[in-house]
Amino acid sequence: MVKFTYYGHAAFLLDDGKYKLLFDPFVTGNPAAKVKAADIKADFVFVTHAHADHLGDAPYIAKANNAEVIAIPEILNVFETDAPNVKFHGMNIGGSLMLPFGKVRMVFAEHSSGIAGGIACGFVVYVGGLVIYYAGDTALFSDMKLIGQKDNIDWAILPIGDNYTMGMEDAALAVQMLNVRHVIPVHYNTWPVIEQNVQDYKKLTESTSRARVHIVESGEDLQLELVDAEA
Ligand code: NI
Ligand code: MN
């Protein structure tokens, strides 16, 4: 079992009881955040791209926790300036890495990188007996079907806010392509430009796929389990 804790926007933690995996920890300046960066503990910090609403507090938290940062190599440049000597593991699209909790695969995202030379990515994480796909910031793209074929995804964490990423209709199509059973929407309602009625997304997705949509409020957590979508 894995505990998902949502910090608002696209920042969240996965905890398998032994290891804490932190993703895109934008907390300082995040209007939706209810925690302070200093209160977040992490063993691994995953950064999908270098836009400020994803890179966020990653250098500070990684340094404070002696955590290992997993990102595309170009992002290391930021850490060399902001958090010298932080543990950093560079990987690239299509590559896998074994970490103490399980396998991580870096996958394609259709989005800009926020840093010269880099590209944005998503992650497929094998942890606590589950396969979890975090899309990062992305448009809908047809290779999501390939990601779902290669990795039998149990839970997908998808942006739905529109403007910068997929909106609700595309994020509902993404669920069909990924053939995933459980979805947690993120990257919405942080600012007026990405305001969405998440209940509409839940209705749309659940009526057009076999998936169940789980709405998690900032500051709340959810136990991710392999429960049947029909249950
Ligand atoms: Ni972005
Ligand atoms: Mn973003």
pLDDT value at position 230? 47
Closest ligand to 24 CA? 2
Residue 188: which of 56, 27, 32, 22 has the closest Cα? Answer: 32
What protein residues have CB closer than 5 angstroms to ion ligand 1? 51, 137
Is beta strand 212-213 parallel, antiparallel or unpaired with respect to 96-99?
unpaired
Across all residues in the chain, what is the average pLDDT? 96
Q: Is the pLDDT of residue 229 over 70?
A: no
Distance 71 CA to ligand 2 centre (A): 16
Query: Cα separation of 48 and 2, whole Å?
Result: 21
Distance 10 CA to ligand 1 centre (A): 10
Distance 222 CA to ligand 2 centre (A): 22
pLDDT value at position 117? 87
Distance 49 CA to ligand 2 centre (A): 9
pTM of the shown model: 0.97
| Buried-state track 13-33, b at ≥16 Cβ within 10 A, e below 16 | bbbbeebbbbbbbbbeebebb
Contact assessment for residue 123 and residue 134, using Cβ atoms and an 8 Å cutoff: yes
pLDDT value at position 129? 95
